[in-house]
Amino acid sequence: MARSAVITGDDVGCVDTVRIFDCPTKTEMVNHRHRERVCVDGMVKLVRELDLPAGTVAHVEVGGGRGLYASQSCFVQGAASGQWIGVLASHDFDVRLVAAST
């Protein structure tokens, strides 16, 4: 299960609080199999509940392939990252992409 973190502080490097959230998911049928996918409605609800001001910086790890990932895994991860970027940007967050580290 993917997790999201909200880290707050007065300045870069000064951390006051860290809150960890489960990424909202839902089950969908994909090729006759049940698959867990991110839930955009749940993501919107979570972002609204955080009640953070417009312009808040949000760092999002770039989705896509890593190492030996199968092409379907790359697609799903990239799609989920794109959905987070869209939800955060639509709530006036300053979205910044961060390269994945391995």
CB 30 within 8 A of CB 15: no
Q: Please give the tally of structural domains in the chain.
A: 1
What is the structure's pLDDT at 5?
Answer: 78
Tens place of pLDDT per residue across the chain (102 aa): 567 778 888 887 888 888 888 888 889 898 899 988 888 999 999 999 988 899 988 888 776 566 666 766 666 677 778 888 899 999 999 999 888 774
Q: Rounded to an integer, what distance in angstroms lies between the CA atom of residue 24 and that of residue 14?
A: 28
Q: Which range marks the domain in which residue 80 is found?
A: 3-98
Contact 26, 42 (CB under 8 A): yes
The Cα 81–Cα 88 span in angstroms is 11
Residue with tokens 């390269």: 99
What tokens appear for 76 in the block?
């799903």
